[in-house]
């Protein structure tokens, strides 16, 4: 799976969403991940993304991203490792990884890369 990610880069580059999606398809990506905050995208923009992706044959694999979706994207094991480094370096208990996160990693639920994390992903 080759994943094209939509975020604020289109806006920052002065490229509208439809043009950006067409570029993603032209480059050869076969699906799209709309990587934006839950409150950061309007209903009109969601509709535009959905219509354009349908025309281009690009499935949308997620919309929108919340902090749990972002953790799945990064990898839950990576999140736990970062928490361990912070805890070790700073020494404050607030940096301890939560037990649920540790449990998910121990179970092999690493996020998107394993097909399961806080969310289930199609393989």
Q: Is the pLDDT of residue 85 over 80?
A: yes
**pLDDT at residue number 83:** 93
Q: How far apart are CA 59 and CA 43, in angstroms?
A: 18
Average pLDDT for the chain = 82
Per-residue model confidence as pLDDT tens digits over 41-77: 677 877 888 898 899 988 877 655 567 777 888 899 9
Q: How far apart are CA 89 and CA 83, in angstroms?
A: 10
Pick the more confident residue, 97 or 73.
97
Per-residue model confidence as pLDDT tens digits over 6-19: 655 677 778 888 88
pTM: predicted TM-score of the whole model, two decimal places? 0.53
Return the C-alpha torsion angle 55, 56, 61, 66, nearest 10.
-80
């Amino acid at each position: 799976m080759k994943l094209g990610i939509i975020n604020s880069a289109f806006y920052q580059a002065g490229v509208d969403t439809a043009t950006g999606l067409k570029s993603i398809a032209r480059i050869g990506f076969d699906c799209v991940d709309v990587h934006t905050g839950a409150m950061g995208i309007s209903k009109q923009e969601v509709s535009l993304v959905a219509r354009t992706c349908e025309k281009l044959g690009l499935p949308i694999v997620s919309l929108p991203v919340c902090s749990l979706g972002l953790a799945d994207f990064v990898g839950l094991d990576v999140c736990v490792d970062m928490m361990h480094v912070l805890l070790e370096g700073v020494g404050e208990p607030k940096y301890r990884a939560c037990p649920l996160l540790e449990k998910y990693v121990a179970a092999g639920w690493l996020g998107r890369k394993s097909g399961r994390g806080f969310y289930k992903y199609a393989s």
